[in-house]
Each structure stands twice: as structure tokens, then as C-alpha cells.
Amino acid sequence: MPKRSDRIKKGLERVPHRALLYATGLPKGEMKKPFIGVATSFSDLIPGHIGMRDLERFIEKGVHTGGGYPMLFGLPGICDGIAMGHRGMHYSLPSRELIADIIESVTEAHAFDGLILLTNCDKITPGMLMAAARLNVPAIIVTAGPMMTGRYRGRRLSFIRNTFEAMGRFRKGEISKEELDSCEIGACPGAGSCQGLYTANTMNCLTEAMGMSLPLCGTALAQSAEKRRIAFDSGVRIVELVKKNVTPRKIMTRAAFENAIMVDLALGGSTNTVLHLLAIANDAGVKLPLELFDVLSRTTPHITSIEPVGDHYMEDLHWAGGISAILARLKGSIRDNPTVSGKRIKAIIDEVGFIDDEVIKPIDEAYHREGGIAVLKGNLAPLGAVVKQSGVSDKMMRFTGRARVFDSEEEAMKAIFGKTIKSGDVVVIRYEGPKGGPGMREMLAPTATLMGMGLGESVALITDGRFSGGTRGPCVGHISPEAMEGGPIALVSEGDIIELDIPGRTLELKVSADELKKRKLEWKAPQPKIKNGWLSRYAKAVTSAYTGAVLK
């Protein structure tokens, strides 16, 4: 079968192309082999990516062993934790589109036969999946793995609970400066994606659930021998996928996305996955409405309690059986589908020999009968909003409070640190959506600080921005339409009554329709916060959160 790479290396008219390929050091005997692009997001900037040089070597070994020729190229990455709470977070979600576009550009320009996509954190993994779906060239995702937990006086430490929430606890006087400093130095002990079900680890688990990475890849720990073997096996396997022409769209079917959503709901993962799965499905040509998350949530139980919601960590999930064990628990609902391993999902489930019941509960012992994510609608969110209901206490599942309105995250943080937010308030942070942000910043600092200050049981937060996977508490994001588009969240006034009903799936502003019409007539869109550079172009092209914030 003709190879894609033939277009740059076969025929008399390709003498110049071959000359340039030989200039890279390509041995003449390798010219006939499949060319495998290895897109690596190695970086000194991101803890989840600092260990990738090692995995690159094992991927290369695997590709050579399988009979292909590997060619590495680099991709940018942003650490959401480092970008959090300042101008840098505007760039996080938009970087997903850049990553997808870069992979598309390099792959088409250099005519790769197949791709290994080496990733780990936040927007990098979904960007790679979007590119794989768009290009439909044989591809395997290799995720670099979760970080081990830290330690402090016999306690396990993790990034969100022991840094972001620790800020609030310190301000409240619950912990000493010594303990705060120990958390700061010990919460992240080395390479890997942060230890809980934040966006990075959730997406890596869902990549495996979709069948786009090898079994156990989603949870195998960073810098482990097991992860090295997975990297090597992925290199071997991609050459076989090229020979058999097994492309991503044969794997990323509607069934694959439904499986991924159910695994997400069972895990109680990050709400960011809603944005990302919608965007990946868009590139895969699969219709995936926002409402499907809620439909599946009604019948998918929440069966793990992993940090930030609970006290287990990614290392516990891995040793408990990993994503294969989650799929096995959900066997009655999971749809059979092919995977990059060559095994179908049902076959992978049949091979599961051990599940730790303490970490992955049996269905009849589930933490909640519904899944971790709920989609809300109402006059405040006509096109939808998203909440991580697995992180909300029973007391706050229904809540009515007074609106405290802020037009940016910074304004809200000033009020929270100034202790002007009181029990019974609903913090409204707007003009932080895809267009208004621009870039739909994560509101982790406000939510974690509220939790750390002990207000998680008496204050709610709603926003047209989004939340980190580390968020817990009554926090509703992705409100659509966003404020910058003139959505109802733009019309909320200080002191308005807002009613949150998660079981009823509603988010209501208790203001009459006539009053809202009056406010709408008086509303004027504010000036963009950023008026030049890439983000100004992004703001003009990006769509609403309920579509996955894809570009037009």
C-alpha cells in the first residue's frame, strides 16, 4: 500500500527532497520505512513534562524495533498551575488550538505516515487529540504519567489541597508559616502531572478509555519502568497501525466518546473535560451535544473518591486496576469499540483480574448514584452550565444566595482576601468566558481560597469562565451565553437573588423577565481586555463554551 511519505521521497522530482532528508542524517536504508512523527511536548517549564526526554528514547527504540523511522518535533506547553491567577492564564485554553494547528502543519508539510503524540498536561493532551482526529493519520497518544504524592510529617501532600487551599487556611490562621512553607516545598516532589483528578490526569484517563493510548497508560506513574515499557510498546505498535491503516476516526467513534464520558462521570473528573471532549468530537466529525453528559450522568454512578474530592490519589487508582478496572465496573453500559492496542474494549475488560474495592467501589457501593458532572440550565444559563457535583456537599446541592458581582477574577480575589464575602453570598465572576477573558481562565484561586477559608459550605461561585480539575465546592462554570456576548450573566446586579438547584439541574436569577429585558437594553459590551496579539484574534474566532470553545 502506498505510504503518505512517498509524496516526499519517491520519484525523480523528489531528488531535492531526498537530499534534504539525507542531510538530517537519515541512513539510506531507512528511506523505504514508514516515517513516524514523534510530537514531543518536552519542556523544562512543566513538571508533568520534564521527564519526557527518557520517554522519547523509548518511543524511538520502539519505532525502530517495529520497522519504522522516528522523527521528533517539538510542541509548546503551558503549565496551568504556574499560569494561574495572572495574565498568563488567558493563554492556556487558546494554546490547545495552537498545539492542534502546529501538529497539523508539521504532519502535512512533512507527510508523516503515522504519529506518536507525547503529552501529559492540561490543554496539551486535548490539543494533540484534536490534531489526531482532524488529520486522521494513524496515531497513538503516550501520556507521561502522574506525579507521586509528597510527604509532610506522615501525611501525603498534593498540589491543590496543600498549596492553593493552604493559602486560605494560612490566612484564616489554621496552619503555621512553617507548615505552609513545608507544603510549598513538598507538595510536588518531582516529575509528573499533579497527583489528583485534575484536568491533566482526567484527560489522560479518558484518552485511554477512548482507546487512543495503550492499556494502563492513563495511570502508569511518571518515571516508572512501566511507563518506559508503554512508551516502547507504543512505538512498536504505531508501525503496525500504519501498515493496517488504522486511523483515529476508526477508533474515536460516538461509542468511544460515550465510553470516555462514562469513565469521566464514574471517576468524578475535571469539568474541563466537557470543553475538550466537545472540541475533539468536533474535529473527529462526531456529533456530541452538551446534554449527553447529563443524560449519561443520570445513569452512571460515581465510584471513586480521588483528590481533590477524596483522599485517594492517582497512584492509588493505578494500583487498584487503573482505567481497565473502571471500564470493568461499568461493563454493562460500556460500548465495544476498537483501540490502538489492537484489542477491543470488551476484550480489555475481560482481561481485568483484580480491582481494589476500597479505591474503585462496586456499583452497589457507589459514592453517588449519579456521575461527577451535571449540566444546569435556566434563565441564567439558557445554553447550559457545568458543575462538578461529586465535589459538592449534600448541604450545598441546593442553595439560594445574594449575588456579589465581579467583572474579573482579580476583583473577586481582592474581595475574598479582604474578607468581604460572607455566608449566603453567590460570587459571580463574569467577562471571563472564551471571548470575554479572552481565553476562559480557570477560577481555581478563588474557589480554593474560599474552601481554605471555610466558606465552601455557605458560599457558591458561578462564572462564565472555567474551573481547574482541582476545584471542589458549589462552583458552576461554563455559563453560556457568556457575558461578553450579552448573556444573562452580564445582567446580574449586586444583591440579586440566585437559586442553584443541582438535583433539579437549574440555575435561576430571581429577577422578572421584564426587568431583564430592561437591563438588556441598557447593557453595552465592555472594551476587550486584550486588544492586540494572538488573543485578540482568538477572541474574534472562538465560540461559546457549550460548543467546546472551538474556533470558527
Span 191-238, pLDDT tens digits:
999 999 999 999 999 999 999 999 999 999 999 999 999 999 999 999
Per the structure, how many domains does the chain have?
A: 3
Q: Report pLDDT for 469.
A: 74
pLDDT of residue 392 exceeding 90, the answer is yes
> Do 398 and 268 share a domain, yes or no?
no
Q: Is 468 a catalytic residue?
A: yes
Which of 468, 480, 493, 512 is an active site residue?
A: 468
pTM assigned to the model: 0.95
Neighbours of 157 (CB within 10 A): 22
Q: In angstroms, rounded to a whole number, what is the distance separating the alpha carbons of residues 466 and 468?
A: 7
Residue 25 covered by a domain: no
> Do 340 and 463 share a domain, yes or no?
no
Element (H, E) at 211: none
Q: In angstroms, rounded to a whole number, what is the distance separating the alpha carbons of residues 217 and 280?
A: 19
Across 23-138, where does the E strand assignment appear? Answer: 35-40, 69-74, 114-119
Residue 358 covered by a domain: no
Burial class of residue 1 (count of CB atoms within 10 Å of its CB; 0-12, 13-18, 19+)? exposed
> Do 142 and 164 share a domain, yes or no?
no
Mean pLDDT of 491-504: 98
End-to-end CA distance of the chain: 36
Q: Report pLDDT for 158.
A: 86
> Do 291 and 408 share a domain, yes or no?
no
Q: Which of 261, 270, 256 is CA-nearest to residue 294?
A: 261
> Do 135 and 167 share a domain, yes or no?
no
Q: Cell 459538592 belongs to which residue? A: 392
Residue 27 covered by a domain: no
Q: Cell 439558557 belongs to which residue? A: 382
Kindly report, residue by residue over 339-353, the tens digit of the pLDDT: 999 999 999 999 999
The answer to whether the Cα torsion of 173, 178, 184, 190 is positive or negative is negative
Q: Report pLDDT for 341.
A: 98
Residue 370 covered by a domain: no
- Nine-digit cell at 351? 482481561
Q: Report pLDDT for 236.
A: 98
Structural domain of residue 174, as residue ranges?
Answer: 152-187
> Do 339 and 205 share a domain, yes or no?
yes
Kindly report, residue by residue over 117-166, the tens digit of the pLDDT: 999 999 999 999 999 999 999 999 999 999 999 988 888 988 877 887 78
Mean pLDDT of 355-379: 97
Residue 490 covered by a domain: yes
Q: Report pLDDT for 535.
A: 96
CATH classification of the domain holding 343? 3.40.50.2300
Quote the radius of gyration of the chain (alpha carbons, Å): 23
Q: Cell 464575602 belongs to which residue? A: 421
> Do 259 and 136 share a domain, yes or no?
yes
pLDDT of residue 1 exceeding 80, the answer is no
Q: Report pLDDT for 85.
A: 80
Mean pLDDT of 71-83: 94
Cα-based distances in Å from 326 to 49, 299, 390, 407? 26, 15, 17, 40
322-347 burial, b if ≥16 CB within 10 A, otherwise e? bbbbbbbbbeebbeebbbbbebebee
Q: Report pLDDT for 161.
A: 76
CATH classification of the domain holding 520? 3.50.30.80
Cα-based distances in Å from 411 to 163, 416, 427, 455? 21, 9, 11, 18
Residue 92 covered by a domain: yes
Kindly report, residue by residue over 270-307, the tens digit of the pLDDT: 999 999 999 999 999 999 999 999 999 999 999 999 99
Mean pLDDT of 527-532: 93
> Do 120 and 159 share a domain, yes or no?
no
Residue 20 covered by a domain: no
Kindly report, residue by residue over 21-69, the tens digit of the pLDDT: 999 999 999 999 999 999 999 999 999 999 999 999 999 999 999 999 9
Helix extents (H) in 383-529: 409-417, 444-452, 513-522
What is the chain's mean pLDDT, rounded? 95
Burial class of residue 104 (count of CB atoms within 10 Å of its CB; 0-12, 13-18, 19+)? middle
Residue 202 covered by a domain: yes
> Do 288 and 426 share a domain, yes or no?
no
> Do 114 and 239 share a domain, yes or no?
yes
Q: In angstroms, rounded to a whole number, what is the distance separating the alpha carbons of residues 146 and 191?
A: 8
> Do 95 and 112 share a domain, yes or no?
yes
pLDDT of residue 368 exceeding 90, the answer is yes
> Do 270 and 165 share a domain, yes or no?
no
pLDDT of residue 402 exceeding 90, the answer is yes
Element (H, E) at 300: none
Mean pLDDT of 510-538: 96
Greatest alpha-carbon span in the chain: 76
